Chain A
Amino acid sequence: MTNAFILFLVSAIVSPLLYRQGVLKLLALGMTLLAFGFSNTVIGLSGFENNPAVTLFIQILSAVIFAFILHERDEHLITQSLFLAVVSIALLQSSTLVTFIISFEALSLISVIITLGFNNSTQAQGAIRIFIAGAIATAIMMIGVSFLLLSGANLNSALPKNRDILTITGVLIIFTALFYKMTIFPMHNWAVSTYANISSDRAALLSGVAKSVSVVAIFKFFAPYLTNMSNEILLSIAILAIITMTIGNFMALFREKLSSILAYSSIAHSGYMLLAFAFVNSKYASSGILYMAIAYIFMQTASFLILDILKNRHNIETLTDIKGLSSYSPILSMFFTIQLLSLAGIPLLAGFMGKAILFYAGIDVGMLTVVLIALLNSALSVAYYAWIIKHIYFDKAQEGRKKYIDKSIFLSQMILLIGTILYGIYVYKILNVSIFLLH
């Protein structure tokens, strides 16, 4: 039976056979397009199920992978992106503890593989950090699973509903392990090093795609259990979220390297997204996280891919290098600026609506102070995004810079831009399906 999972899997397995044949990209694009059409299908194995919220996210995932393939020249990385799509679908559709853990480990594995294409010691450092973080997370997760097994939980079902101490401890330990993936304080350091040091196209896959998929899947799996948790636990999650976003935003303020700024911005966004877990008792929490993840996958992937173009075509890595970009590459500047404004949460772009709905969930559950701090954090983040835009538009370029943008890159960025703008306005589509995220 044809489904998105199989389509991605087949294209991922076949693609190494087509290296240097000149047709790999075409095949990958075709299969991704087909997978987009079959987003509403479910993996035909027990332990997986689909719903309209997951379908929408798989559609968007396919669109982002399509844009990535258009952008990418490295055939190995195209294959890896197809594998990433495969495990992402598995993770999103997993409905039992065992399929969730296996899919999650598969995602960790493919994330490590993605970082392995390093050319120098700095990139290697980033790859080693993600490997160690993944290993620690797995170890912690296994401890959590053993607690669940001790409590008599069935791994072939969703999280148990019991509230005994063993189950609660087990679930919280697993949840803590997942903080590594979500790059939550104090498990965020690896991500800064990895996202900032590896090549930016790889960072786009990890920071943009893998993280947003993880967050949605974790929410889908854990939110039902968290709904009746004590206020202290939810408040602790909110505090961690606040610390994470504050650290991310403050650290980004003082960076010179563009990939470091975006890496810290990614940490800050993890903080925002974690808030949804603290606000889980609001019916708007699932809308907020789904919206946020959709916005994030578009804007973060696009931003890192732009950094990749800047590095490879213009040798731009820092704020100083990017000065005056608008004067010789106005189209790329426009793409970057709109994505940065969306990351900053400026309205009519997806980033704003995601944050707005997520923060409203906080008001809905009465966490006014948490929302106020989150809003101020969001306003603070404008400082470093605006600072990049200032360098692009208000400063003079160094001499000898030349315009560059080819058609496939333009198309790739256009797809991501349309996503960012469309979901800034086309609100009801996401909101109407988001209620299924918890079913």
Chain B
Amino acid sequence: MNPLYMIFGPVVLAALVGIFFKEDFLVKIISLVLFVSMLIWSVSMLDTASINSFSLLGTYIHCNLIPIDLTLQVDRLSAVMLILTFLLLILVTLSSWNIKSSAYFALLIMFAGPITGVFLSTNLIWFFIFWELTLIPMFFLIGIWGAEGRIYASIKFFLYTHFASMLILLAFFLIYKQSGIMDISMIKESMLATPALIWWLMFIGFAVKMPIFPFHTWLPDAHVQAPAPISVLLAGVLLKMGAYAMIRFAIIMMPQTAEKYSYIILILGLITLFYAGFNALYERHIKKMVAYSSISHMGLVAVAISTVTYAGLSASLFEMIAHALVISPLFLIAGLLHERTGSWYMKDMGGLMQKAPFISTVFVLASLAALGLPGTVGFIGELSILIASIQKYGLWLAVIAIGSIIGAGYLIWTLRRVIYGEISDSVKTSNFRICKTRVFALLIFALLIIIFGLFPSILFDIIDPAFQAFNHTGGAL
């Protein structure tokens, strides 16, 4: 299959579907079929990407003056990110089944194109083009289908991340000026005259997307105001895009500079972990609590990335996947609670287990996974990061465990207030029946949390080859 179809096909399809299809059911089916086929295609690429380097998929568009060839290459890291993306897109489509708008699903389809480009393009300028293009569908998805404060949140999201992108573009300009090469697979750190400046520009640009403290302020608003399935997309795909780019550009491409500034990433990662954790502890707004919990976990990913080691980077990729699987059902259920009770605040909830046992069970499972309960995917993620960090920085990095304790604090307290306790009036009077597709999506999340928690080697076997170049000492687990 020509990979160009996978990038531009969804954009064209989205335009056609948006203009000609008014029947939302048909568009839902089209998007589901598309995402499933793209998932199968990305899984098939694991074979292509089995070796420790890029495999060329194709080069398109050529220009003599500037090497802006659209070069598409895949390695294990990008293949894993694609699988995660399409899996989440399928689950997001299923979770959005109650939304009766063909435009909404057309935008989801449109999102699939540039995100594929982000993970496959190795040309700096094309990477940037796809990176920026992902903003457009997200902007509309938040702005049109979001909650009360959607307009503020969508514009803040667009502007904040666009400003950050300008720094990335500047860094890319400098890379090309200094190395004369646009393809990241060929750029070596030693070719760059000002590696520190380039690294900092890229670091800030990608840190906004991840997000890392103090560049995170756009995310709580976007997360809270976005419709729940789009929050899943934000947490599961968009933030991962930031982490992916951080690993791809700031670590793999520039390992020496990254090593030099690894303490900065570590400290900012730790601040993010604790700052967001304390915010979540304070928060009474259920979706904001989940949003801060999400940011806190991304702080953990930043800590893992800061190690610049095989074990740390593998752990960061594992945690990214774990985070996506764990935080998504929490967002979906938080959104559902607001949809049915009309309130965002935990004080208006309580006793959900009595009224909606299935939803409550998934919420409990995801919460326990988020706080790192053994047997769940969250535990493996946090443990592998803890081990990799201690290996690199020493025993003092055991402070990460305090992050888990804070997590346990806000999550267990949330369970106490929302799931258990006395049944509240709003829960009592609300109907929590949801359509089968949404049940199915939650079920898939729950199963994956347990499967990858019990058999983490399935995931590690897939992701470990991504960082073989850093393998001098062996993996974390």
Residues of A that sit less than 8 Å from B by CB:
283-284, 287, 341, 346-348, 352, 356-357, 359-360, 363-364, 368, 371-372, 375-376, 378-379, 382-383, 386-387, 390, 393-394, 425, 427-428, 431-432, 434-435
- Given A341-B136, A356-B125, A363-B177: A284 touches B151 (CB 8 Å cut-off): no
17 additional A-B pairs beyond A283-B65, A387-B155, A428-B61, beta carbons within 8 Å, are A284-B65, A341-B136, A346-B136, A347-B132, A348-B133, A352-B132, A364-B177, A375-B170, A379-B159, A379-B162, A386-B139, A390-B155, A394-B143, A394-B154, A425-B61, A427-B68, A435-B65
Are A432 and B65 touching (Cβ within 8 A)? Answer: yes
Could you tell me if B129 and A284 are in contact, using CB atoms closer than 8 angstroms?
no
Q: How far is the CB of B140 from chain A (nearest CB, A)?
A: 7
A431: nearest residue on chain B (CB-CB)?
A: B65
**Interface members, chain B 143-183 (any A CB < 8 Å):** 143-144, 150-151, 154-155, 158-159, 162-163, 165-167, 169-170, 173-174, 176-177
B63 near A428: Cβ-Cβ < 8 Å = yes
Task: Tell me which of B128, B155, B174 has the highest count of chain A C-beta atoms within 10 A of its own C-beta.
Answer: B155
Complex Cα spacing A360 to B173, Å: 6
A383 touches B159 (CB 8 A): yes
A-B contact pairs, 11 of them (CB 8 A): A284-B66, A346-B132, A346-B133, A347-B129, A364-B177, A376-B166, A383-B159, A428-B65, A431-B63, A431-B65, A432-B63
Q: Does B64 contact A (CB under 8 A)?
A: yes
What separation, in Å, do the CA atoms of A386 and B151 have in the docked complex?
10
Decide if B416 is an interface residue (CB 8 Å cutoff).
Answer: no
Q: Hey, which chain A residues are within 8 Å of B125, CB to CB?
A: 356
What residues of chain A lie closer than 8 Å to B130, measured between beta carbons? 347
List B residues at the A interface (Cβ < 8 Å).
61-66, 68, 125, 128-130, 132-133, 135-136, 139-140, 143-144, 150-151, 154-155, 158-159, 162-163, 165-167, 169-170, 173-174, 176-177
In the bound complex, CA of A270 to CA of B395 (Å): 58
Query: Which A residues lie within 8 Å of B158 (CB)?
Result: 382, 386
Across the two chains, which residue of chain B brings its CB closest to A429? Answer: B63
Taking a contact as CB atoms closer than 8 A, the residue among B64, B154, B169 that contacts A431 in the complex is: B64
Closest beta carbon of chain B to A62's beta carbon, Å = 25
Q: By DSSP majority rule, is chain B's interface helix, strand, loop, or mixed?
A: helix
Q: Report yes or no: B169 in contact with A356, Cβ–Cβ below 8 A.
A: yes
Q: Is the CB of B136 within 8 A of A379?
A: no
With A375-B169, A428-B61 known to touch, is A352 a contact of B159 (CB < 8 Å)? no
* For the complex of A and B, 10 pairs with smallest distance between CB atoms: A428-B63, A347-B129, A375-B166, A363-B173, A431-B65, A379-B163, A347-B132, A394-B143, A379-B166, A363-B177
Determine the chain B residues whose CB is within 8 A of the CB of A435 once the complex forms: 65
* Distance A383 CA – B64 CA, assembled complex (angstroms): 35
Minimum distance in angstroms from B148 CB to a CB of chain A: 12
CA distance in complex: A390, B65 (Å): 38
Q: Chain B contacts of A348 at CB under 8 A?
A: 129, 133
A428 vs chain B, min Cβ distance (A): 4
A352 in complex: contacting residue of B66, B129, B176, CB < 8 Å: B129
* B170 smallest CB distance to A (angstroms): 6
Residues of B close to A363: CB separation below 8 A: 170, 173-174, 177
B167: chain A residues at CB < 8 Å are 375
C-alpha gap A425/B159 in the complex (Å): 24
Closest A-chain residue to B164, C-beta based? A379
Closest chain B CB from A395 CB (angstroms):
8
Partner of B62, one of A352, A382, A428: A428
8 Å CB contact of B63 from A371, A387, A427: A427
Q: How far is the CB of B227 from chain A (nearest CB, A)?
A: 14
How close is A149's CB to chain B, nearest CB, in angstroms?
Answer: 39
